[in-house]
Amino acid sequence: MHCPHCGVDLNDDHPACPGCRFHIDDLDPLLGPPPPRTGDVLDLAGALSPAERARLQARCARLRGRTGAELVVAIVPDTAPRKPAEYVFWLFNRWGVGGADHRGILVLLALAERRIESEVGYALEEVVSDAVSGELLAAHAVPFLREGALGEGLYQACDVLAQLIESARVEA
């Protein structure tokens, strides 16, 4: 994980940024407890149809079955009072995406901010860096999101992320 302000690597052993002094715990008083994680797809905004949600859930499950890596999708109405980049970092850590070795990716769609963000765990960064993940989201999700096809945009982005992980033979 990276400091949302400076980009410095942070982890459970070093949760504070030496540059700006940001600490993951700084977000807790502002954001409260994280929403309960009820699966690989959490749609707090009610933006997906049941079929779209099931399709995304199945793709995330297929990746986990093939590689052991987690792909989690969260759709929120907004991330106020924080920026989406801070919120995705906070949520990734609070949910423990990817387990102890951080073998996971969280994709966050913040509707009010009109932003799609991701957080990539350390164990996957050689395969999918934060920069690559951002480029893939921009190329594969944003065109659909602009058209209002949220489910298709999220599916296309998650599918290409999963294919990249699967092709690298990232296994548990």
- pLDDT tens for the chain, 172 residues long, are 567 778 777 766 677 888 888 887 877 887 888 999 999 999 999 999 999 999 999 999 999 999 999 999 999 999 998 899 889 988 998 999 999 888 999 999 999 999 999 999 989 999 999 899 999 999 999 999 999 999 999 999 999 999 999 998 755 4
Please, what's the b/e burial string for 33-54 (b: 16 or more CB within 10 A of its CB; e: otherwise)? ebeeeeebbbbebebbeeebbe
Cis peptide before 81 (omega within 30 of 0): yes
Tell me the one-letter amino acid at 105. Answer: I
How are beta strands 41-43 and 104-110 bridged, if at all?
unpaired
